[in-house]
Amino acid sequence: MTSSQSVTRLPDEKESFSVDASEGLEQASAPSNAARAYNEIKQRILDNVYPVGATGSVQELADALGISRTPIRDALIRLEEERLVALSPRHGFRVLPISAAEMIEIYQIVGALELLAIELLIGRRLEPQVFTPLEAAVTAMEAALDSGDRDAWAQSDARFHQLIIALSGSTRLAQTVRQFLDQTRRVRDLTLHLRPAPEQSTKSHRALLTAIVAGDAPAARELHHAQRQRSGTELAHILQKLNIRHL
């Protein structure tokens, strides 16, 4: 999405983020409602239902989700910490763009964290059957490439990387990577059909899986680094060619 695209506005109600006494009786249910509000609002942002630049109020979200304002505010505070929205005490929230430069940085960070995950995964010396879901993800990528289904390919690619992180055994690492990966959804959706057919990427994923299963850490590191370098170069080229500064 370019910075020149018109902004979609949600109803512009004035709303304060302070907690009022009338909501005190709802505090007991706030944690589960806050989690639901967080997940639903975030999903709408990532799915571009609330696109970059969209604004709205706490009350509008409360009405849309059927959740009281306190959990909504808690959810928005979390989303602000993840740099997906900006909050204003009397103007509600605004969906934030991510600059192209920031996106390149995010890809670099994710690549480094995935490398750590691969090293942790290999170090765990897991039984061969544990890698079956990874095998299934790569096989699905190959099938999607053959059929020309880029969306299915992207879903299987995301699944592969999610599994790498999960199998590292580090909960904190998984939480950190998930936050960054959520921010890459926009650029993935934007550039998915602008990139060359992912033939080399698919081969690299197959080779990386082979190295992981074999416990060959040096080969896995080299393969992962080379793939991330290729992806980063492709991304930078597309963003520069289209003069995209914000997503």
The pLDDT assigned to 119 comes to 96
pLDDT the model gives residue 14: 38
Does 210 share its domain with 104?
Answer: yes
What per-residue confidence (pLDDT) applies to 245?
Answer: 62
One domain, residues 118 and 60:
no
Residue 236 lies in a domain: yes
Position 169 in a domain:
yes
pLDDT computed for residue 12 by the predictor: 41
Q: What pLDDT does 57 receive?
A: 92
The verdict on residue 246 lying in a domain is no
Nearest Cα to Cα of residue 13 among 67, 83, 69, 51 = 69
Task: List, run by run, the mean pLDDT of 10-residue segments along the chain (247 residues).
Answer: 39 40 42 86 86 90 92 92 86 83 84 95 94 97 96 93 94 88 74 86 96 96 92 80 66
Domain for residue 6, yes or no? Answer: no
Does 33 lie in the same domain as 112?
no
Q: Positive or negative, the Cα torsion across 56, 60, 65, 70?
A: positive
* Residue 38: per-residue pLDDT: 92
Among 45, 69, 95, the domain-final residue is 95
Listed residues 44, 70, 95: the one ending a domain: 95
130 located within any domain: yes
Question: How many whole angstroms separate alpha carbon 55 and alpha carbon 85?
Answer: 9
Residues 121, 180: one domain?
yes
Give bridge partners of residue 87 from the DSSP assignment.
93
Same domain for 164 and 118, yes or no, is yes
Residue 135 included in any domain: yes
* Predicted pLDDT of residue 8: 42
pLDDT number for residue 31: 54
Domain range enclosing 86: 21-95
Q: Cα(35)–Cα(141) distance, rounded to whole angstroms?
A: 32
Q: Which of 46, 74, 95 is the last residue of a domain?
A: 95
Q: What is the CATH number of the domain that holds 130?
A: 1.20.120.530
pLDDT, residue 247, reads: 60
Q: How far is residue 103's CA from residue 246's CA, in Å, rounded to a whole number? A: 9
The answer for residues whose C-beta is within 8 angstroms of residue 222's C-beta and 6 or more apart is: none
